[in-house]
Amino acid sequence: MHLSHDPAAAAAPIIGFDDFLKVDIRVGTIVSAEPYPEARKPAFKLRIDFGPTIGQKRSSAQITENHALADLPGRQVAAVVNFPPRQIGKFMSEVLTLGFADEAGAVMLFAPDRPVPNGARLF
């Protein structure tokens, strides 16, 4: 799977609504953020609380250009919670934290405009 950071990239092929429902996107609150200097590309190690049903999960996120480490705890983010865990160097990333590329191609985190309950599902 290749994700493009190019805003001019062509739209993905049309899928059915049932395909969309297979992707479980939830909101969570970052409870801790640490540097990840061993990563091949600059990244942070995040621990995100998705509420009592899903619990806390870890994510490696390449968000270092637009987000300061100290500003991340307490911030809500969206993440795909039903991909299999992925080994990123020595770190096991359990969810895919979502963002959009800015004009320079650096990732900006995606979050709701106002607080919502941890674990709420995108629909």
pLDDT digits (tens, 9 = 90+) for 57-114: 999 999 999 999 999 999 999 999 999 999 998 999 999 999 999 999 999 999 999 9
Instruction: Write out pLDDT tens, residues 46-55.
Output: 999 999 999 9
Q: What's the confidence (pLDDT) of residue 2?
A: 42
Q: How many domains does the chain have?
A: 1
Banded model confidence at residue 9, pLDDT cuts 50, 70, 90 = confident
CATH number at residue 50: 2.40.50.140
CA dist., res. 14 & res. 52, Å (int): 34
Q: What is the mean pLDDT of residues 19-47?
A: 95
CA dist., res. 6 & res. 10, Å (int): 9
**DSSP letter at 121?**
B
Residue 53 lies in a domain: yes
Q: State which residues form the domain around 63.
A: 25-109
Is the pTM above the cut of 0.85?
Answer: yes
CA dist., res. 77 & res. 120, Å (int): 11
Residue 54 lies in a domain: yes
**DSSP letter at 28?**
E
